Structure 1
């Protein structure tokens, strides 16, 4: 993936970022707002690593798959969905409609 995918969909990447760098805080990610330089500087501070090490880790992370709910590519949809299954809660089908994720069928009576 490219950084512009991350920047354009910054909040959607929080879970993947926190999986790679568990030291990060979501409130700090909100402030960074997709700024790559700020993110690298933040990771240097949060992890205690050298900037060159952080840049290498970031390059490696960017070489991975884009979570399917961020950018859908019709040619690779099923492959992307399959790879993103690790971000789907247990018991939910990664191929199911996103709008239903997290719903367990208990809907309030709306009078219909």
Structure 2
């Protein structure tokens, strides 16, 4: 992913950022508001690491996939689905309807 994806969807990345860097909290992220330089400076101060080391960590983190719950658009969704094909058994289609696994709207047995 690119920083632009993170910046454009900044609040949606809070959980992923706080998982990776527990030194930050939501108030810090609100203040940073997607500014990469401010984010690196904050992490360097919070962790005591050099900014160059933080940039390397950030570059490595950005090399991962965009979390599927962050960006919802047909191109990204279809790309994510096609990547999931490696987890689908041979002979099955990753685009198949999964209705046979149960109705998500069926609330029987949940106390209603």
Tell me: CA distance 1:50–1:70, structure 2 relative to 1, closer, same or farther (3 Å): same
Larger radius of gyration: 2
Q: Give 1:69 shift.
A: 1.7
Q: CA RMSD in A?
A: 2.0
Number of residue pairs aligned between Structure 1 and Structure 2:
84
Aligned-partner Cα distance in 2 for 1:12–1:69: 8
Q: Does 1:76 align with 2:79?
A: yes
Which stretches of structure 1, 4 residues or longer, exceed 6 Å deviation after superposition? Answer: none
Structure 2 unmatched ranges of 5 or more: 85-104
What is the CA–CA distance in structure 2 between the aligned matches of 1:27 and 1:17, rounded to whole Å? 13
* TM-score of the aligned structures, taking structure 1 as reference length: 0.68
Pairwise CA distance, 1:74: 3.8
Structure 1: gaps (5+ residues)? 81-99, 108-112
